[in-house]
Structure 1
């Protein structure tokens, strides 16, 4: 049976079958009009009539490509093409009779026209019946393989869902048995649509017990609804594999390919409704500007590059020290933004002279500072490197921005800077403090070295603070996905550990919006939604892969890593928030810092750091950020001595 399902009639054979039907129909019509007087028929010009008709029919059907469609997938479009071909063939033959056969051979053309009229109905009916019969036979044979078919539900009971049902039924690769539709509209529940029942989403457990559902098909748009997302999560919990279908406009013109259907990803469940930002204001701030983006080849930095380029800046300078990612980004930009003016620079933000020459050459007007070390355990082992990049690198860029009269300096910070328990978070908090203190003297001359000699720069220094971003390099989701692909185990540090998550485009949209609304000195914090338990994240990802947690793949708890927190915070308990016009962006009200005091502390820190005196470096960090208390770290001993 499966061999029959996978075999297709060659096009030439379909054309021959169509011509045999047309010839037989013409002959039958001829006999009916002549009242089956065979002797009279044979004495006439029957063979000439039918021979010429076959030639006209063959030319017409071949020209209109009636034979090129797959019979088993015949649709209204194919029926329309058959009617058109038979009609054009009849009109062409009638014209041929009127212009040549009737005057030359003195035949009764009226009878021929009656033959053509009758033939039109008989031939059209037969051609359509053959196709519908072949399609019905195909479906009947395929239904005989029901044991191997997957039982599926479709989320939604609207026109798009019906199109999806028809596409799945026509698919020859999946062998799907469609149980019905899921919906939450009370007016549709228990109704039949295209011979399939509409069930309420709350009945999914009963449906699973009754039908043992294998898969649920959902449209990508359904994932934007919180209610539908929760219903889909329920299906995942029940072990139903969820597949996402692209918008119908991407496949309606042709057959839905199984390559277009994707497994539901954990990012789909974690994403929230799209953020609406003031695009006009962002566009007016960035259009025609020279923009410098540090860490431009990283997860956040590269997305800043993409979004900034969409606002038509005069120039985008991308700064990073990672050669290969920078090269890949450059190739991507050439493809996506072929007319953009982009300068790609390999440079280290800790190298003041290199950064000075970059500012001098390109004179940026807006700076997005995303270059940073971000991995907590790595920085716990290398505190001096964290200070070098996250503190000195930030100081270099901020000082140069003030010196070269940059309009806005936007630093990307982290929720780990709040009540930090690790080197990485504390280094970012120190960078935040420096940025804030520097904003307090914006409009005044920097004491000490001022290489460009600019007397009164007016730079607005802005900080943005958010949590984990989905899919960023080295983050938990790609790591879990890799572990699942390898067969496990999936490693989680602690059963109670939670994290905030945000998509990369969402985070960058908010960064651009905050940069636009910032007046200088603010720390903008973003609405990260509800925190997610990492163990729940791991089990969901295992289930999304069609596997059973702790049966197919184990979840193993490895213990908190050095410097790691159980819970992340976006605000210090002493910090208050001020609302903005954007519901997802708030301003953290923090204490003011004296620039001179901060500079003295940081210069002392950098001096200790230069000498690689790790313990003294960390001790100084704790003095600058008193709320920094080490957790599960070799530096906990310093807290005991400082108390």
Structure 2
């Protein structure tokens, strides 16, 4: 112990951690026990003398009697090794050994007292004294061990609590109590529950699991330093979107960390330590998911051959994951990006070993490479997710955007019609509505061509288009970009303080695609009720705060100006479009203007030739003819609109 203390005092660490002090030698424990026995003996003597007010030892020398009692006690303690255990880790066995040694002492001395009475006709000590000594000595030895054990427990807990994040659990329902109990029962977790938080005002003096309950007003009225807490754990599934936003705004205002815990149902099936994480901005933007008619979707995919173009991308790979759940006969995953295609191949073979996959490295604009797939596999469903989508890059390379987004869509769609594919579902974008950039206009041109095929004589394929906004977490989207900037210490770059966007999650987007594939009758453009648009500046500020920083203090926000082709507000419907409801309240049909097949085919052939010549200006000119509402914004092609 001295060496440990010396190391702490004269080493680099000046803090003596009592919970790490070495165990005392066993002989010291025995000496302490003997001292407790002596104290118990004198205490018993004092009590007996006060009660009886007469002699209780019938022997000329009290010291001999007392020494005999102590010797007997020490002898049995040695026999049962009561001093051998580590006191701070005492168990019921150690308690039982103490009880036996004290009882044996009582039995031995009591027996000697009875024998003495038989032989001499007189006891050498009264029996009530022996019983009192037995009780006091046992309690003294027991309390010594109990106090040492509790002392080290308190020191360990104090040390843990100082190293852990002090948190409140939001809610006082069964789910919240279960989460709190799980944290309390798991000392390895880096959280220390100090109480519960509720909106109710009638629970101020109540306790749960020995922890106080705080009302919301206490958080509102006090600063973080006065509250002595680091953060709050919430269960997202237990709250509505408005409730969660209200609480999150309060916590961010108080600079509290916000942690998300799983529901109890999910907790049973997962690793609890890894399931508590910092609340992400995606959690605040999530909405109630679309209701999916799984039976109808399963019928469309079960034992069928499915093609997914762009199958290694954010949307395409999620479509592959969801379709694989319905046990199709074959999924052909097509993409021109080698590494992502290999990654999705490894993932699918691990997650769905019973499903047959074929992974094809190919460009959708190469008809000679694509048509053999249609000849060989007799596809029932085609999901066309392959596209160039980054606005500035396509603005600089319009010919490449046309070859993939327009020619590629034309090839996949016409082959679907030629080989009698039951349904063709194309993934489009809200940037196709009143486009201000080449990317959005190219997707609108693809929409027009796909729609025109529906009414071509002899066609039996149902051509369906889905249109939605920005997808959270997709490759190149704003949220991963902001996360990287925050992790790097800033600054966070925003093109314009007033820019707004619609957001949805990748699973939501793909559920829309699957649902549209089952409910469409051909020629429709399905749009999704995406709720309220989100101001990108507010999004950035929240992300910075959720990361534990202060906007424009710890992490700067700077404005870079609108990029070529970028606009402040995205739209899901064109000005002259009308919407029709569907049986799903979250999905509508947009009735946009259409073009006849021969007209759009002629224009597409012309723009394809211009793209192959890499004549950028001619490409954009023709694109503005195909999409009359296309008005370039903050782009070199604005001169073409005059």
If the TM-score is normalised by the length of the shorter chain, which range does it land in?
A: 0.7 to 0.9
- Partners of 1:156 and 1:314 lie apart in 2 by 47
Change beyond 3 A, Cα 1:157–1:129: farther
- Partners of 2:22 and 2:443 lie apart in 1 by 64
**Which of 431, 450, 464 is equivalent to 1:416?**
431
Deviation (angstroms), 1:39: 7.3
Deviation (angstroms), 1:139: 2.7
What does residue 636 of structure 1 align with? 638
- Partners of 1:6 and 1:151 lie apart in 2 by 23
Which stretch of the first structure deviates more once superposed, 219-228 or 357-366?
219-228
Deviation (angstroms), 1:147: 6.8
Q: Check the 8 A contact 1:608/1:616 in 2, yes or no.
A: yes
- Partners of 2:270 and 2:440 lie apart in 1 by 52
Any unmatched runs of 5+ in structure 2?
1-14, 25-83, 117-133
Give yes or no for the alignment of 1:612 onto 2:628.
no
What does residue 82 of structure 1 align with? none
Deviation (angstroms), 1:237: 3.4
What does residue 242 of structure 1 align with? 258
- Partners of 1:324 and 1:197 lie apart in 2 by 53
Q: Check the 8 A contact 1:501/1:532 in 2, yes or no.
A: yes
Q: Check the 8 A contact 2:200/2:216 in 1, yes or no.
A: no
**TM-score w.r.t. structure 2 length?**
0.78
Q: Check the 8 A contact 1:466/1:526 in 2, yes or no.
A: yes
What does residue 22 of structure 1 align with? 96
Give yes or no for the alignment of 1:36 onto 2:107.
no
What does residue 248 of structure 2 align with? 232
Q: Secondary structure at the match of 1:435?
A: helix
Deviation (angstroms), 1:146: 7.2
What does residue 3 of structure 2 align with? none
Deviation (angstroms), 1:397: 0.3
- Partners of 1:128 and 1:291 lie apart in 2 by 74
Q: Check the 8 A contact 1:549/1:555 in 2, yes or no.
A: yes
- Partners of 1:478 and 1:311 lie apart in 2 by 30
Deviation (angstroms), 1:170: 5.6
Give yes or no for the alignment of 1:355 onto 2:429.
no
Change beyond 3 A, Cα 1:588–1:35: farther
Change beyond 3 A, Cα 1:495–1:143: same
- Partners of 2:266 and 2:150 lie apart in 1 by 25
- Partners of 1:291 and 1:321 lie apart in 2 by 18
Q: Check the 8 A contact 1:380/1:563 in 2, yes or no.
A: yes
Give the CA RMSD over aligned residues.
Answer: 3.4
**TM-score w.r.t. structure 1 length?**
0.78
Q: Secondary structure at the match of 1:197?
A: strand
Deviation (angstroms), 1:203: 4.7
Give yes or no for the alignment of 1:392 onto 2:394.
no
What does residue 219 of structure 1 align with? 235
Change beyond 3 A, Cα 1:145–1:280: closer
- Partners of 1:142 and 1:609 lie apart in 2 by 70
- Partners of 1:600 and 1:181 lie apart in 2 by 68
Q: Check the 8 A contact 1:233/1:269 in 2, yes or no.
A: no
Instruction: Give a deviation string over 1:25-82, Cα, whole Å, max 9, x none.
Output: 234345567883247899xxxxxxxxxxxxxxxxxxxxxxxxxxxxxxxxxxxxxxxx
Give yes or no for the alignment of 1:465 onto 2:467.
yes
- Partners of 2:371 and 2:159 lie apart in 1 by 74
Deviation (angstroms), 1:202: 5.2
What does residue 402 of structure 1 align with? 417
Instruction: Give a deviation string over 1:455-498, Cα, whole Å, max 9, x none.
Output: x4410000000000000011111111001111110100000001
Give yes or no for the alignment of 1:543 onto 2:545.
yes
What does residue 337 of structure 1 align with? 352
Deviation (angstroms), 1:132: 9.3
Give yes or no for the alignment of 1:427 onto 2:501.
no
Q: Secondary structure at the match of 1:239?
A: coil
- Partners of 2:547 and 2:319 lie apart in 1 by 31
How many pairs does the alignment contain?
549
What does residue 79 of structure 1 align with? none
What does residue 600 of structure 1 align with? 602
